[in-house]
Amino acid sequence: MSRITAKAAMAADSPFTLPPARRELAVTSADGTRIHVEEHGPADRPTVVLIHGWTCSTIFWAPLIRNLSADFQVVAYDQRGHGRSGTPDRKGYSTRALADDLAAVLEAVVPEGERAVLVGHSMGGMTLMAASGRAVVRARTAATLLASTGSGRLLAETQVLPPRFRSRKVRDGFHRLLLSSRAPLGPVSGVSRAALKYGVMAAGSTPEQVAATARIVHACGTRPRSAWGRVLAGLDLDAALGGLTAPTAVLVGTADKLTPPVHARGMAAALPNCVGLTELAGLGHMTPIEGTDAVADVVRGLARDHLPQHLPDLPPAQENLSVKEKTV
Domains of the chain: residue spans and CATH: 3-327 (3.40.50.1820)
Cα–chain-centroid distance for residue 253?
A: 13
Among 51, 65, 117, 43, CA closest to 303: 117
Q: What is the pLDDT of residue 155?
A: 84
Residue 83: how many other CB atoms lie within 10 Å? 22
Please list the pLDDT of the chain residue by residue as tens digits (328 residues): 444 443 444 456 799 999 999 999 999 999 999 999 999 999 999 999 999 999 999 999 999 999 999 999 999 999 999 999 999 999 999 999 999 999 999 999 999 999 999 999 999 999 999 999 999 999 999 999 999 999 999 888 887 766 665 566 665 666 565 666 666 678 899 999 998 999 999 999 999 999 999 999 999 999 999 999 999 999 999 999 999 999 999 999 999 999 999 999 999 999 999 999 999 999 999 999 999 999 999 999 999 999 976 554 554 444 333 345 554 4
- Rounded to whole angstroms, how far apart are CA atoms 99 and 96? 5
Identify the burial level of 166 via C-beta atoms within 10 angstroms of its C-beta, where 0-12 means exposed, 13-18 middle and 19 or more buried. exposed
Amino acid at 258: L
Secondary structure string (H, E, C) spanning 149-195: CCCECHHHHCCCCCCCCCCHHHHHHHHHHHHHCCCCCCCCCHHHHHH
Structural element, H or E, at residue 281: strand 274-281
Q: What is the pLDDT of residue 158?
A: 83
* DSSP characters over 124-136: HHHHHHHTTT-HH
Residue 185: how many other CB atoms lie within 10 Å? 18
- Rounded to whole angstroms, how far apart are CA atoms 131 and 121? 14
Q: Taken in order 51, 225, 159, 192, is the CA torsion positive or negative? A: positive
